[in-house]
């Protein structure tokens, strides 16, 4: 997500350890947010495609942008918010830990389903002149309060985290997560409220990334919201993907034959290809395959088939050859295995450049 999770994805090993910590509590339904406060007047009313340009981008929402998220309604999206939250807390995605733990890449404090505890509010200009929807990038403290949690609790958790981080090694932290011996600092209900507001922020910013968010299918909206939750502002670096997802008529492609119009299926295969070719997909194939498959317009009719098509490109089957494994040929066999792995990577890259069947 954006704002309080400006990091990339959690490595697979740590995700597995976080999964073990999920035993601290079982999933529960999303708790209701506290009574809504009067929301800020949205500046988007005065922002039109005519007066926006890369030189004059729309600013982020002023002040406490987290309050804008309290206006969210389930009818704003086509998918189920609770299903989105269940995916995020699954061990194959973010995991679920009720105590502060270090981000494996940055050592910044996380809690729940990967919510960062110490991020400051940031500007995130809307640079797409055809999308008047602004980004909202509140601080961790603002989202914390929007979830109905007391500010002093956040400070107490941060202070305890800093003490533990100074006293414990990374290995000790991992052991505590695996053995579920970290003392819970949030209740199940509190962590769920925090996850809810941060998931809503990801949805809000997904709309700012995609001009036609409301026209996407439910799985496509869910996939884009997952990407925003996982990558935050890092999604800005996916230039090819964002260009493709906002190009429904193929106008950004090289000149085509006269009269040729890209079909809807071809458009979404192009969108999927831009993600398949990314370093993110190569590094996190299991998670990426699930998300990329959701961009298939036929995903709703047959999710398994859509995911298998993506997995076949991301993880092509390895060809095994029958060889003489005598002692004399041992070195040749080992060399062949190394060459096979290298060939597999090239083959995967080559397949990714082809459109999905």
Cα separation, 58 vs 136, in Å, equals 11
pLDDT tier at 246, thresholds 50, 70, 90: very high
- Mean pLDDT for all residues in the chain: 77
The pLDDT of residue 46 is above 80: no
Sequential DSSP letters for 294-341 = TTSTTTTT-HHHHHHHHHHHHSPPPP-------GGGHHHHHHHHHHHH
The pairing of beta strand 115-116 with beta strand 97-102: unpaired
The pLDDT of residue 300 is above 60: yes
Cα separation, 177 vs 20, in Å, equals 7
- Give 104's contacts (C-beta < 8 A, 6+ positions apart): 10, 11, 14
The pLDDT of residue 114 is above 90: yes
Closest CA relative to residue 336, chosen from 317, 321, 315, 349:
321
Strands of the chain, DSSP E: 97-102, 109-112, 115-116
The pLDDT of residue 44 is above 50: no
Three-class SS state of 190: helix
Expressed in angstroms, the distance from the first to the final Cα of the chain is 31
The pLDDT of residue 31 is above 80: no
pLDDT tier at 262, thresholds 50, 70, 90: confident
Mean pLDDT along residues 152-162: 97
Mean pLDDT along residues 234-255: 80
Does the pTM surpass 0.85? The reply is no
- Give 174's contacts (C-beta < 8 A, 6+ positions apart): 14, 17
Cα separation, 287 vs 281, in Å, equals 8
The length of the chain in residues reads 357
As given in the structure block, the two tokens for residue 118 are 């110490």
pLDDT recorded at residue 247: 87
Name which residue leads in pLDDT, 46 or 236: 236
Which residues on adjacent β-strands are paired with residue 112?
97
Which residues on adjacent β-strands are paired with residue 102?
109
The pLDDT of residue 28 is above 80: no
pLDDT recorded at residue 254: 47
Cα separation, 275 vs 259, in Å, equals 28
Neighbours of 93 (CB within 10 A): 25
pLDDT tier at 43, thresholds 50, 70, 90: very low
For the ranges 11-20, 183-192, 206-215, 284-293, which has the lowest average pLDDT?
11-20
pLDDT recorded at residue 173: 87
Mean pLDDT along residues 325-345: 40
Per-residue model confidence as pLDDT tens digits over 122-132: 999 999 999 99
Sequential DSSP letters for 85-122 = HHHHHSTTTT--EEEEEE-TTT--EEEETTEESSPPP-
Cα separation, 45 vs 68, in Å, equals 14
Cα separation, 212 vs 236, in Å, equals 17
Percent of the residues in the chain that have a pLDDT greater than 90, as a whole number: 55
Let me know: does 246 contact 128? Beta carbons within 8 Å. Answer: yes
Q: How far is CA 351 from CA 96, 173, 276, in A?
A: 35, 40, 10
pLDDT recorded at residue 37: 30
Q: How far is CA 97 from CA 200, 228, 328, in A?
A: 20, 21, 52
pLDDT tier at 357, thresholds 50, 70, 90: low
Per-residue model confidence as pLDDT tens digits over 55-105: 555 555 544 577 789 999 999 999 999 999 999 999 888 889 999 999 888
C-alpha of 162 from chain center: 27
Mean pLDDT along residues 276-282: 93
């Amino acid at each position: 997500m954006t704002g309080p999770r400006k990091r990339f994805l959690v490595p697979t090993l740590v995700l597995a350890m976080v999964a073990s910590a999920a035993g601290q509590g079982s999933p529960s339904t999303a708790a209701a947010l506290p009574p809504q406060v009067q929301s800020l007047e949205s500046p988007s009313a005065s922002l039109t495609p005519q007066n926006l340009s890369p030189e004059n981008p729309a600013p982020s929402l002023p002040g406490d942008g987290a309050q804008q998220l309290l206006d969210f309604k389930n009818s704003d999206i086509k998918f189920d918010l609770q299903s989105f939250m269940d995916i995020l807390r699954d061990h194959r995605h973010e995991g679920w830990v009720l105590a502060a733990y270090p981000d494996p890449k940055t050592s910044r404090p996380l809690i729940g389903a990967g919510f960062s505890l110490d991020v400051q509010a940031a500007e995130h200009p809307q640079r797409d002149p055809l999308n008047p929807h602004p980004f909202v990038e509140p601080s961790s403290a603002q989202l914390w309060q929007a979830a109905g949690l007391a500010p002093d609790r956040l400070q107490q958790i941060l202070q305890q985290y800093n003490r533990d981080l100074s006293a414990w090694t990374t290995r000790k932290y991992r052991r505590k997560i695996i053995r579920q011996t970290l003392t819970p600092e949030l209740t199940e209900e509190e962590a769920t409220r925090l996850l809810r507001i941060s998931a809503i922020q990801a949805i809000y910013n997904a709309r700012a990334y995609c001009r036609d968010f409301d026209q996407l299918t439910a799985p496509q909206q869910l996939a884009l919201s997952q990407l925003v939750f996982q990558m935050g502002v890092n999604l800005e670096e996916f230039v090819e993907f964002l260009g493709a997802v906002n190009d429904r008529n193929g106008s950004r492609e090289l000149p085509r034959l006269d009269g040729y119009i890209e079909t809807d299926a071809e458009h979404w295969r192009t969108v999927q290809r831009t993600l398949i070719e990314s370093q993110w997909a190569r590094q996190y194939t299991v998670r990426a395959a699930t998300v990329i498959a959701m961009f298939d317009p036929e995903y709703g009719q047959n999710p398994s088939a859509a995911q298998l098509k993506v997995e076949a490109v991301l993880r092509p089957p390895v060809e095994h050859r029958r060889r003489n494994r005598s002692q004399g040929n041992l070195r040749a066999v080992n060399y062949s295995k190394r060459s096979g792995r290298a060939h597999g990577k090239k083959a995967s890259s080559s397949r990714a450049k082809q459109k999905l069947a």
